[in-house]
Structure 1
Amino acid sequence: MQSRKDSGFSLIEVMVTSLILAVGLLGIVALQGIAKKSLADTDKQIQAAFLARTALEELRADTRWLTATSSSSPSQDSEISDILTNAANSAALSNMAICRNVAGTVTIAVSWQIQNTAAASGAVNGAACGLAIDNRRQVVLTSLISEAI
Structure 2
Amino acid sequence: MNEKRTLKAWTKEEREQLEKCKKSGHYNVINLCFLINDDYVRTCGTGNMRCESPLGEKYKKLMDNKYDDSAINHLVQDVIDYFAGTAKFPGLKKYYVFLAKSKYPFLIEEENGTFDWSDYPEERYKYEFTEDEIKAIDPRYMAFALEV
TM-score normalised by the chain length of structure 1: 0.26
TM-score normalised by the chain length of structure 2: 0.26
More strand by share: 1
More helix by share: 1
Larger radius of gyration: 1
